[in-house]
């Protein structure tokens, strides 16, 4: 059973529809007992770093996830801000992150981008994969995925970067360390490639 974590933000229904299409057992829940029974987790993301961390802390969900993911080694995949909270900290807020994949979430600095695009980074972009090939099996890398963000994951260890995107300059768009995977792009809006990622995650 894959638990799509409901914390009041994120495209939970869109992700559930994909798993329904794939006939993969899943649930949308924030209930701690259900989370403990799940085999793996999806942490959707639409929102701000501090608001997400504050909600997960107040609800006690962080304690459950730390036990299940860090303690028991269950797999988790975070999307957008659901990925960003895996970091130690963020330029977007003041609260500490989970620290599951060491690094800091940094604001994209437009003055450092070679072609001077505007923020947020919004729309479809091709991606370059350098790790976790089993997660990206069946993906159309040229078409890539849909992005909507102004921050990126600056991983402390380059080996934890599994994909990058070029938006006036290249930066990480997916990270992975052990049983923890994070995607900056919205795979739930990625059509066939997004479906492939969710199918692959369910089979890891």
Q: What residues are annotated to the active site?
A: 80, 186, 188
CA–CA distance, 128 with 132 (Å, rounded to integer): 12
Tokens of 79: 């999307």
Tokens of 80: 């957008």
Q: Give the residue from 89, 79, 71 showing the smallest Cα distance to 5.
A: 79
Tokens of 75: 């797999």
Dihedral over alpha carbons 15, 36, 201, 81 (to 10 degrees): 60
How many alpha carbons lie under 13 Å from residue 40 in its C-beta half-sphere? 17
Q: Give the residue from 156, 172, 163, 170 showing the smallest Cα distance to 114.
A: 170
């Amino acid at each position: 059973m894959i638990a799509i974590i409901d914390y009041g933000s994120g495209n939970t229904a869109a992700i559930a529809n994909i798993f329904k299409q794939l006939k993969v057992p899943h649930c949308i829940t924030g209930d701690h007992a259900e989370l403990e029974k799940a085999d793996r987790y999806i942490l959707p993301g639409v929102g701000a770093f501090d608001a997400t961390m504050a909600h997960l802390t107040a609800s006690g969900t962080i304690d459950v996830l730390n036990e299940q993911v860090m303690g028991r080694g269950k797999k988790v995949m975070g999307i957008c801000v659901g990925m960003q909270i895996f970091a130690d900290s963020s330029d977007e807020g003041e609260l500490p992150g989970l620290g599951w994949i060491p690094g800091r979430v940094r604001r994209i600095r437009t003055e450092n981008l070679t072609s001077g695009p505007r923020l947020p980074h919004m729309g479809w972009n091709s991606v370059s994969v350098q790790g976790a090939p089993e997660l990206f099996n069946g993906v159309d890398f040229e078409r890539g995925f849909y992005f909507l963000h102004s921050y990126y994951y600056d991983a402390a260890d380059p080996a934890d970067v599994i994909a990058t995107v070029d938006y006036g300059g290249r930066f990480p768009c997916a990270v992975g360390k052990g049983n923890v995977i994070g995607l900056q792009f919205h795979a739930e809006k990625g059509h066939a490639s997004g479906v492939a990622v969710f199918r692959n995650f369910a089979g890891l």
